[in-house]
Amino acid sequence: MTSWIPLVLLALAALLPLGAAVLRPAAARGRREADVALYRAQLDELDREHEAGRLDEAGHRAARIEVQRRLIAAADQAEEAATKRSPALLVAILPLLGAAGFGIYLLRGSPGMPSAPYQVRAEAAARDDQVLSAVRARIEALDQRSDQARQGWVLLGNAERGRGNPEAAIAAWTRALDIRFEAELAGDIAEMEIARGSPAAAAPWLTRALAAEPGDPRFRFLAGLAEAESGRPANARNLWQALLAETPPDAPWRGLLERRLSALP
C-alpha cells in the first residue's frame, strides 16, 4: 500500500496549479471571450434549413440574429458567474477530485498498459490525410461552378478546422467563396485569421462581409478586433464606439462591447 503514497502525493501536486487558478481573481478572457461570444452566432442547422428551402431569407436572417443574441448573452452570463465563484467551495472540492480520480484508477486503471506510441498516432494522422486527400480529389472533379462543389469545400474546411489545421480550412473555404460569396463564411475566415495572429489577412474578408451586410454586429466587432490586434487601438475605438452608439441599451452584447472598449490602451 505504501507504494501508492507517492502517486497520491503526485496527484495532489498536480491539483495545486488548479487551486492557484481558482483562487486568482477572475480576469477578462480577452480575445477568446469575444471570439466565442460572436462566432457561435452561426448555426449549421439554420443554414441547412435555409439551403433546403424550408426557411426563407427573411426568416433565416431573423433567426440567425436572435440566436446570435442569445449566445452572446450566454457568454456574458458565464463571465458574470465566473466573477462570483466561491474559492472556499472550490478549495474544498479539490481534494475530493483527487480522491475520486484515485478511486476510479484503482477500479478501472491499467498501469501496465503502455501509452500510444508516436508511430501509432502518426499512422492515424496519415490515414486522416489520405481520406481527406481522396475527398479533396472528388471535389476537384466536380463542376467548380456548382453548389455541390461549393458545399464540398465548405465541409472539407469544417473537417480541417476540426483537425486544428487552419491553413487548410481557410484554403477550402476560399474555394467555396470563389464559387459563391457568403458573408457568414467570409466572417469565419476573418475570425480564424485573427485567432491565428494574422489580422491583416482578415481585413479583406471583413471588408467584403461588411459590404454585403453592413449592419451585422459580428462583422463590425471583428473589424474593430482586427484593428486592435494590428496595433491600431484608435481605429478599433472608433469602430466600436460607432457600434456602441447603435446598440440598444438592452442588447445582450452591449456589456461585452463596453468592456472591450475600456480595455483599449
Instruction: Name the pTM for this structure.
Output: 0.58
pLDDT classification of 135: cutoffs 50, 70, 90? confident
Q: Which three cell numbers stand for residue 44?
A: 449549421
pLDDT classification of 184: cutoffs 50, 70, 90? very high
Judged against a pLDDT cut of 50, whether residue 42 lies above it is answered with no
59 contacts 47 by C-beta, under 8 angstroms: no
Judged against a pLDDT cut of 60, whether residue 74 lies above it is answered with no
Q: H or E segment at 69?
A: helix 57-83
Give residue-wise pLDDT tens across range 191-247. Answer: 999 999 999 999 999 999 999 999 999 999 999 999 999 999 999 999 999 999 999
| Mean pLDDT of all residues in 146-173 | 92
Q: Quote the distance between the C-alpha of residue 228 and its chain's center.
A: 19
CA–CA separation, 59 and 28 (whole Å):
35
Judged against a pLDDT cut of 50, whether residue 150 lies above it is answered with yes
- For residue 226, what are the CA distances in angstroms to 19, 192, 194, 262? 34, 11, 6, 17
257 contacts 243 by C-beta, under 8 angstroms: yes
Judged against a pLDDT cut of 90, whether residue 65 lies above it is answered with no
Q: State the average pLDDT for the chain.
A: 75
| SS3 state of residue 33 | helix
